[in-house]
Structure 1
Amino acid sequence: MADLNFRKKRKRQAKRKQSVKKERDLKFAARKPGLKFQQEKSHSETKNTGAIVNWILQIVTVCVVAFVLVWFFGQRVSNAGDSMKPALKNGDVVMVNRLVYNASRPKRGDVVAFKPNGNENAHYFIKRIVGLPGETIQIQDGLVYINNKAVKEHIHAKNIKDSGVAAEPLTLGDGEYFVIGDNHAGSDDSRMADIGNVKRREIYGKVWFVTSLGSDFGFVKR
């Protein structure tokens, strides 16, 4: 009998030892550094992915902004002829702002690029705005008269000998502009019947900067 009890006791002790060993093995497995390493690795991968996405978004944003700036502010047009001397010379490459007139109206003294009568096959003309919509313009005694008053401010053409169609009072319609080259003696502009008044839709944009290296390099004077 005593031997039987001893055997049962030995079995119970063996089961307790096995149970304790299993608990220790489970705790040890839970404390394995591999799990923590995998969590840290997953967090690091997420962080790197976010940085890459942010980097791509920045590049896309820069490209879009650059495209907009070039398209609206950096269109290049070559000046043909000397009709705008001394402001511009033949062959000068200028930058044209296409956006400015979406926010404001062309002003007297602005230098603009346009295609006469909207002819897409013609090269761009570059002239200075003298008359604005609704104004009555006349060239008399070498001076530009606007609404019967001689105007000199923002008008660079002086001592004009050929008045052309402006020899008589000429009233500009809505959205029409009268342009003259600074070098009026060698300029084909609104004084000529085949060019006439320039309509707003024909104006490509405002000429604002000369990119050609030399004395003309820089902002175009108004």
Structure 2
Amino acid sequence: MEPVKRFLKTWMPSLVIALVCSLLIRTYVVEAMVVPTGSMIPTIQIKDRVVVEKLLPMTNLRHGDKIVFYPPVEEEAGKRYVKRLIGLPGDTIQIKEGVLYRNEERVEEPYIKEPMSYDFGPIQVPDKQYFFLGDNRNQSYDAHLWATPFVDEEDLIGKVILTLPTHLIFGNGEESR
């Protein structure tokens, strides 16, 4: 019994500190997530891992950033989405003849899979809200389909800072079993 007590006395404080630090970092600083859908193809593939930086108050969000958030969709409550930031507060967004316009200026989007097969807007992004679309626009369940097309600032989780493609992790796109 004495060796067990000695072991616990020696290692328990370090283990508790490591666990608390790990939980704090994952909750407030950075977290790795798996992408379950193809809404961001070709940029992010199904089952790719993304590293998400959660320090949004210290982050400068820009058009084109990939952001993880809780969508304003009741049946998707609690799920996390990753989409591209298209509209910041005050922006006017319109999709016309397969082309995205922001504040009446055409936006070049080399990252999208194909031109959009729908028209949308014009619509202005309210204060403290954001507008998101997937890169796989014609197959993405995103702002152009939601009843409320805007995501509240408090529903933002973080900014994708790194994508780890599945094929690099598991080789040839197969997961380990």
TM-score by length of 2: 0.73
Q: Show the counterpart of 2:41.
A: 85
Within the alignment, does 1:170 sit opposite 2:123 as a pair? yes
Instruction: Please show how residues 183-202 of structure 1 align to structure 2 within 5 Å.
Output: 183-194=136-147, 196-202=149-155
Deviation of 1:144 (Å): 0.9
Kept in 2, the 8 Å contact 1:87–1:216? The answer is no
Q: Which runs of 5+ in 2 are unaligned?
A: 1-12, 171-177
- The correspondence for 1:115, drawn from 56, 64, 70, is 70
Q: Which has the higher strand share?
A: 2
Instruction: Please show how residues 30-69 of structure 1 align to structure 2 within 5 Å.
Output: 68-69=24-25
Deviation string 1:82-137 (CA, Å, 9 cap, x unpaired) is: 110111111222221111x1113421111111111275843211100011110111
Structure 2 CA distance for aligned equivalents of residues 91 and 134 of structure 1: 34
Structure 2 CA distance for aligned equivalents of residues 98 and 118 of structure 1: 22
Q: Show the counterpart of 1:147.
A: 103
Kept in 1, the 8 Å contact 2:130–2:153? The answer is yes
Partner SS for 1:94: strand
Q: Which entry has the higher C-alpha Rg, 1 or 2? A: 1
Structure 2 CA distance for aligned equivalents of residues 180 and 59 of structure 1: 42
Pairs aligned (count): 157
Q: Which has the higher helix share?
A: 1
Q: Aligned-residue CA RMSD in angstroms?
A: 2.9
Deviation of 1:63 (Å): 7.2
Partner SS for 1:139: strand
Q: Which runs of 5+ in 1 are unaligned?
A: 1-56, 218-222
Kept in 1, the 8 Å contact 2:66–2:159? The answer is yes
Deviation string 1:146-203 (CA, Å, 9 cap, x unpaired) is: 11111226x733521123xx2x310110011111111111101110133511121111
The one-letter code of the counterpart of 1:116 is: P
Structure 2 CA distance for aligned equivalents of residues 68 and 118 of structure 1: 28
Q: Show the counterpart of 1:210.
A: 163
